[in-house]
Structures are given as C-alpha cells and as structure tokens.
Amino acid sequence: MNRNRSICTLALISLLLLVGTGWAQRSARELPFHSTGTPEWTNSVAFDKDLFTFVRIEYSVNGRHGFGSTPERWLIDAPDSDLNFSYRLQQMTSMKVNPKGLFLKLTDKELVNYPFIYIVEPGRLTFTEQEIPILRQYLLNGGFLMLDDFWGEREWANFYEEIKLVFPDREPEDLPLDHPIFHCVYDLKEKPQIPGLPHAIRNQGTDVTWERSDAKEVHYRGIFDDKRRLMVMICHNTDLGDGWEREGEYEFYFHDFSEKKAYPLGINIVFYAMTH
C-alpha cells in the first residue's frame, strides 16, 4: 500500500512538473508506470513516418454537470493502458506502433497529424468553446475518436450534452453485433463488458460485470458522417482501458477480461478506424 501511494504521488508530481513547464512532446513515457510495468520496444528508423501513435486527449472538468473540478480525470489508467495496448497492437497485428504514445489537447496544432484519438471517462468531461469546432472539423476531415470507461445514466447524460455541442445534428447510434468493427480482426461473439479490476475482484465467480446498478447493459454506439463513415466509437458501461492497464496484476483478470475482451475489441477498433 505504501509503495502504491508513493508511485501515485510520484506520478502526480511528474505530471505537475510537466504541465508547469509546458512540455512540448507529452509522451506517455514521461510518467512512471503504476501497475506491473510497461513493455519497451523499438522500430526501424525506416518506419519513423509510418508509425501508429496512440493519442490520449487531455480535457477539462469545470463542474458544469455537478462532478466538481477534477482536471486529472483524463489521465486515468495512463501511462500503463496506453503503452500496454500499443505493445499488444504491434505484437498482434502488422502495424508498426510508436512505443512512446502521446498526450495532446484538442487545441494542439499537432492534432491533425494523428488520425486516432482516445478520451477516457468522458462522462465527466467539459468541452471548451474553442475545442468544439476543432473536434468537429477534425472528425469530419477523417479523424476518429474512441471514448471509453464511463458508467451509468448520469455520466451518459453529461457526455451526450457535450457531444451534441460538437454534432447537434447527429445522434449516437447503437452498433449491432454484426457491425464489422466487432469482427475485422477478432471475431467477437458478444459485445463485451469489461469491469475495472476492483469490481472484477469483488464479483469474481459471479456473472456480474457491471460497476453500477444503472449500468448493467453495455453499449457500443457510433456517430457517422454523411457518407456513413464511423467517426466516433463510444464504449459505455465498460472499461477497456483497465483491461489494458491492469493485465499483469491478476491471472484471472488477464484471461477473463484483458486477453478475451479488452485487447481484441481495442485492436478491432483501431484496425477498423485506420482502414476506413
């Protein structure tokens, strides 16, 4: 317990130092891991311009929806989830993947250079007036947004209100199980619900995989452009990021949730995004 607290404190100090100095390249490698360690790998210099980079978006929480001001929510599960997933993506596909990952704000000029972005806990986010048109243009120009790890009706209502500021004329649509995103690399037989590790431990040996009483049904929803290209993948009442972050802590969690559900679906989502 003391070791975990020390690691968390060190991570927070590192984050504050990086933010305070205006760190130009916000790499996931800048933060200490807080689970069981993260893999390291290299790519040939010849692939430097052809690497997939897992980009996590930094957002604000201003309390408008009653969640208080918790600006660090965007950092949940990082850097372990980002780096573990990036490694598995390179290991299990032919994609060459950036071993550093990246943290960006929607207002960063480099955003247009990265076709895939990830937001964690969107049930608490608040888009700024400046971010709304930037995100809309990014997505309509071919970008892809994955949202993950938010639970229940209150967090859905918050996210829905925020995403409608981006696309007031578009509605999130439930994706049927026969959508190609569930089958393009791994053939999933169900829409998986991945609980965070503490909930999985608490309910081990039961069929309970939800974290809240109003979050029993998992939803995978999408937002499409005018040509029916999937621009936004919304993973509600599930936590793929914990499946990536905590893969090495308990064998049962790795086999039941990371290996069978979180990684296969995550890889499918990225592969589909990058090929459509």
pLDDT tens, residue by residue, 79-121: 999 999 999 999 999 999 999 999 999 999 999 999 999 999 9
Q: What is the CATH number of domain 25-275?
A: 3.40.50.12140
Question: What is the model's pLDDT at position 62?
Answer: 72
- pLDDT single digits (tens) 35-64: 888 999 999 887 777 899 999 999 988 766
Rounded CA-CA distance 148/238 in Å is: 7
Task: Tell me the average pLDDT across 238-245.
Answer: 98
Say if residues 58 and 103 touch (Cβ distance below 8 Å).
yes
146 is written with which tokens?
């994955």
Question: What is the model's pLDDT at position 32?
Answer: 86
Question: What is the model's pLDDT at position 46?
Answer: 79
For residue 125, the one-letter residue type is L
Task: Tell me the average pLDDT across 184-194.
Answer: 98
Cα Rg for the chain, rounded, in angstroms? 18
Task: Tell me the average pLDDT across 3-29.
Answer: 47
**Model confidence band, residue 240 (pLDDT cutoffs 50, 70, 90):** very high
Reported as half-sphere exposure (CB side, CA atoms, 13 A), residue 132 has a value of 12
Let me know if 113 is exposed, middle or buried by CB neighbors in 10 A (0-12, 13-18, 19+): exposed
| The model's pTM | 0.89
Number of residues that this document lists for the chain: 276
| Tokens 């049904």 -> residue | 217
Q: Which residue has the higher pLDDT, 18 or 65?
A: 65
* Helix runs in the chain, H state only: 2-20, 80-92, 131-140, 152-166, 197-202, 240-245, 251-253, 263-275
Rounded CA-CA distance 211/266 in Å is: 20
Task: Tell me the average pLDDT across 1-7.
Answer: 37
Task: Tell me the average pLDDT across 174-190.
Answer: 98
Give bridge partners of residue 117 from the DSSP assignment: 55, 145
For residue 67, the one-letter residue type is F
